[in-house]
Amino acid sequence: MTSRPLFSGSRAFGVCRHLAQTIGERVQGLESTITTKEYLCNQLKEHGLEKVHAQGFPVFTSRQKKAYVTFGNRTFEGLSFGLSGTTEREGITGPMAKYTSWSWNPTPDELDNFADKIVVLYTRDFSQEVVHDLIQAKVRGIIHVTYEPGIPIKLPMGFIYSGLNTGDFDLLPPIISINYRDGAKLLTNPRDVTIQADVTILQSESFNVIGEIPGRESDAIVLSAHYDSVPYSPGATDNAGGTAILLELARIFAQSTPRWTLRFVAFGSEECALQGSRYYCQSLADGLWESKLNLNFDVQGTRIGHLAVGILGGKRLRTRVNHAITHWNPKIQPGPTGGDNRIFAYYEIPAIHWWFGGGANFLLNHTIHDRLDMVAPQSLEFAGQASEVFIRELDTRRTLQFSIPQSLQKKNVESIKSITTEPDYV
């Protein structure tokens, strides 16, 4: 057991640079997925991990070009969501209907009124459920207004998931995100509106990259981070930063034999309904029981922020984390927060979401501004060293048995359902 942390922020930053800058946007199932997968496999092998391999799984992905919204004589540029509908070149025109509440809670009458209209909304909780309701209401198109003034166009979720399992995308209306300023103009002038979206959906493959440091015991801690990004974003903090922390932890722990087996997984396709972690957990099925705890790094490295930890586990786990890393003054909160960790919890494996929080992160996420210049090696080192110390602390314990309180599990299942109506992969 080393007393001084070995985690190097500058090494982690190098990985982050490679992912966010050299490779750039890492949308599931496109060419960058292959490049990234190979890079991650090589890194894990170089660090001396065992059983390094890439686990492939089928996904749908899309190539999309810029999207436009025209009303009167104005045209606004927007972004279309991955796996959303496409239009003919001249676009589609229809009467506009607006929904101007921050939360999604429409009355049946409101929903009826949306039929055959182009719906403009700026709900903060723009989710799979919202899209599902709007499809049921037979809308002609959806325009999502980015809800914070002063930030670029944002895709609250990178992809829209409805119909994914069946591959039936014909039902999907075009869905476009525009910025707040343009949205405000649109919302104060309801009239006929035209939207143009150019989205090509393709069947493809995504990968989870897996490696292992065998411990003296077979009980395992699964360390994870997703490496994919939403369309248009280099995903520097979400989540090249988390992947960089994952690789740096692999490097430093491979230098010794830990008590608990450490399994490292870089997930693909988190940004599309957590598909990578869902596939991973389901493919392991019974083998998952060796996994006693998941530590998931998602959203890391922003220049400003603080260490935040979301826990899908009971009081004992919370106390353990708090005790190990008080020095870092973490904000500890009960889950569900984060992404892939929620799938582990769904399978009854207590899970921790480890992130670097603060207002800036929230604004950057899923925008074109989530670039490397927003990342600092010090931030990666701060969160990375805290996690290193926590893992070493677990290594001194005789058991990895934690549990998830039922009330928390219930909330977790609800939260997964807002992302995907089918938590199991198939």
List interacting residues with Zn ion (CB under 5 A). Answer: 238-239, 298
Closest separation between CB of residue 268 and Zn ion, Å? 12
- Cα gap 402→119, rounded to integer Å: 46
User: What does 72-133 look like in DSSP terms, one character per residue?
Assistant: TTEEEEEEEPBT-----TT-EEEEEEEE--SS----HHHHHHTTTSEEEE--TT--HHHHHH
Q: What are phi and psi of 287, to 5 degrees?
A: -65, -10
Pick between residue 71 and residue 355 the one whose CB is nearest to Zn ion.
Answer: 355
Pick between residue 239 and residue 387 the one whose CB is nearest to Zn ion.
Answer: 239
Pick between residue 366 and residue 392 the one whose CB is nearest to Zn ion.
Answer: 366
- What the block records as the tokens of 424 is 């199991």
Closest separation between CB of residue 242 and Zn ion, Å? 7
CA 316 to chain centroid: 27
Closest separation between CB of residue 341 and Zn ion, Å? 11
User: What does 220-244 look like in DSSP terms, one character per residue?
Assistant: EEEEEEE----TT---IIIIIHHHH
Pick between residue 83 and residue 120 the one whose CB is nearest to Zn ion.
Answer: 83
The amino acid at residue 114 is F
- Tell me whether residue 114 is exposed, middle or buried, using C-beta atoms within 10 angstroms of its C-beta: 0 to 12, 13 to 18, 19 or more: buried
Pick between residue 173 and residue 241 the one whose CB is nearest to Zn ion.
Answer: 241
Closest separation between CB of residue 274 and Zn ion, Å? 10
Pick between residue 87 and residue 208 the one whose CB is nearest to Zn ion.
Answer: 208
Closest separation between CB of residue 232 and Zn ion, Å? 15
Closest separation between CB of residue 349 and Zn ion, Å? 19
Closest separation between CB of residue 299 and Zn ion, Å? 6
Closest separation between CB of residue 392 and Zn ion, Å? 26
Pick between residue 182 and residue 271 the one whose CB is nearest to Zn ion.
Answer: 271
Q: Are 102 and 124 in contact (CB under 8 A)?
A: yes
- Cα gap 138→119, rounded to integer Å: 10
User: What does 174-215 look like in DSSP terms, one character per residue?
Assistant: PEEEE-HHHHHHHHTS-SEEEEE--EEEEEEEEEEEEEEE--
Pick between residue 174 and residue 339 the one whose CB is nearest to Zn ion.
Answer: 339
- What the block records as the tokens of 66 is 């810029």
The four Cα atoms 39, 45, 48, 51 give a dihedral, to 10 degrees, of 130
Catalogue the E-assigned strands of 214-350: 217-226, 260-267, 291-297, 306-312, 331-334
